[in-house]
Amino acid sequence: MSKKRIEIYDTTLRDGMQREGMSVSVDEKIQIALRLDRLGVHYIEGGFPGSNPKDVEFYQKMANRRLRTARLAAFGMTHKRGARPHQDPLLKQLLKVDTPVVTIVGKSWKLHTQKVLRVGLEENIKMIEGTVGYLAGKGREVFYDAEHFFDGFNDDPEYAMSTLKAAVGGGATRVVLCDTNGATLPSRAAEVVRHVVESLSVPVGIHAHNDADCAVAVTLEAVEAGAAQVQGTVNGYGERCGNANLISVMPALKLKMGLDCVSDHRLAELTETSHYVAEVTNISPEPHQPYVGENAFAHKGGLHVSAALRDARTFEHVDPALVGNKQRILVSELAGKATVLKKAAEMGIDLSAEGRGSELGRLLKRLKEKEHAGYHYEVADASLELFLRRELGLHKPIIELDNFRVIVQKRKSAVISEAKIVLKGNGGGELPIAFAEGNGPVNALDIALRKLLPARFPKFMDELSRIHLINYKVRILNEHKGTGAVTRVLLDSSDGQDTWGTIGVSENIIEASWEALVDGIEYGLIKRHRRR
């Protein structure tokens, strides 16, 4: 028997864009739409062409694009009160963009009908049926979004249902129940959806908002109750608390409920799609997001790590590869021997050989000492690798400091930082010295160091030019000590291909920064040579 098919309707480009501070260009909307099509969603709602020129341009440009799996939908609303559908300029614009699907939103709650639309209850029903009928008569497939349906049903079930029946009477092929205020709990949503499914002759959809932190649960309960279409956004983007997160809904439907929504190979692109949309919209990916977050399958506690390495099912609810993610083993003060063995193996260091037990025990002891002092290696894999290699005598330092000096001077309208670096010599002669000015102490040290290295290590010139500092974070570890507190500095570096994190800890922020800076450069240089 074939699996029940659930339609995925993505509204990131319309409803998701209502998130505060979110804005993308037309070209970026097209990029996101093409990526959603690649993921295998069935419908992409690109915007509200009657509301702004950007959405009109998006649909015009998308007319020349061939979608492989998705059908494009345009969003609109019922015609204005006192007018006929063919006279409404917004409906004319919907027809002009010429999408195969049109989604119309209408009122199902008497409160909104009377106080927002300010029309009579019967007139609202006529507006719904007339609008849907007009668009269907023009050859469009029409979906009807029943706004505030659950609130309307709680207030007056008979009237709320009459609005749905009006849409079906006009020719709507899908009726979508919207929990617009996000207030409905999952069990109540299931009751209402089940009643609607049993009462209508067309497939029913669910569109949940997350104000009660239940949007995903409401969506899944609605499907259990008979809903055939789910609407939502990538990463749950949307107004206020957001919408149902399709990135969580899709794997739950397929992997937990055994329903057909997207193919296996498309589901394996879920993590990449989530991060891609986050980057295009300029929002940092949430590391703890279920299924696709960097930490979704990360293990830190020693007992957890040991068990997960024996059989991942012990602490992983699905195989991360199914959603395009991967297992991560974190090294911290909670680490056990299995953690260190695993991380060392990832770095090409075999500590499992016979006779290396004492080395492993010593490394674990030193690691916990460093973590106790304030190091946080789970977010600084590059520093962890250098630490292990130094402890095992496998790393010869490239940068060996004799001394440095940093001066910060306030000059009229500017603050200038000047750094002097002296490296250890190569066995005679003057010590290598460099001076540099920067817009801050760390920047000045970085510039001065880059002046010294090419002359001493010409073979590294090409690699050095590719390495750039891309993030700098400072945290005070024991605030009660005031200005004498220990400082942790985390740096992210990149060579344009890979990114890596390093760490430095000291009571002096400049010293902590220097340590992280040197680790970042040394790791980048040795990594490039290993790749060769």
Residue-wise pLDDT tens digits, 21-57:
898 999 999 999 999 999 999 999 999 997 889 999 9
Specify whether 226 is located in the same domain as 324.
no
pLDDT, tens only, 51-76: 889 999 999 999 988 999 999 999 99
- Round to whole Å and give the CA distance between 26 and 33: 11
Specify whether 337 is located in the same domain as 459.
no
Specify whether 253 is located in the same domain as 304.
no
319 lies in some domain? yes
pLDDT, tens only, 481-499: 666 678 889 898 988 888 8
* Beta pairing class for 7-10 and 433-438: unpaired
Q: Provide the whole-model pTM.
A: 0.71
pLDDT, tens only, 373-414: 888 776 788 888 898 888 888 888 888 899 999 999 988 778
Identity of the residue numbered 183: A
- Round to whole Å and give the CA distance between 95 and 142: 12
Quote the pLDDT of residue 512: 93
Domain range for 434: 401-531
Specify whether 145 is located in the same domain as 209.
yes
Our count of domains for the chain comes to 3
Q: Round the average pLDDT of the chain to a whole number and report it.
A: 88
386 lies in some domain? no
Across-strand partners of 487?
A: 476, 506
**And the tokens for 389?**
């290699």
Is the per-residue pLDDT at 340 higher than 80? no
434 lies in some domain? yes
Of the pLDDT bands very low, low, confident and very high (cuts 50, 70, 90), residue 1 is very low
Please name the residues in contact with 141: beta carbons below 8 A apart, sequence gap of 6 or more.
100, 101, 102, 173
293 lies in some domain? no
DSSP category for residue 5: B
Specify whether 252 is located in the same domain as 305.
no
Q: Residue 206 to residues 15, 150, 215: CA-CA distances in angstroms?
A: 14, 11, 10
Handedness of CA 19, 183, 109, 165 (dihedral sign): positive
Quote the pLDDT of residue 159: 97
Q: CATH no. for residue 463?
A: 3.30.160.270
Continuous segment of H or E residues that includes residue 306: helix 302-310
Please name the residues in contact with 526: beta carbons below 8 A apart, sequence gap of 6 or more.
395, 398
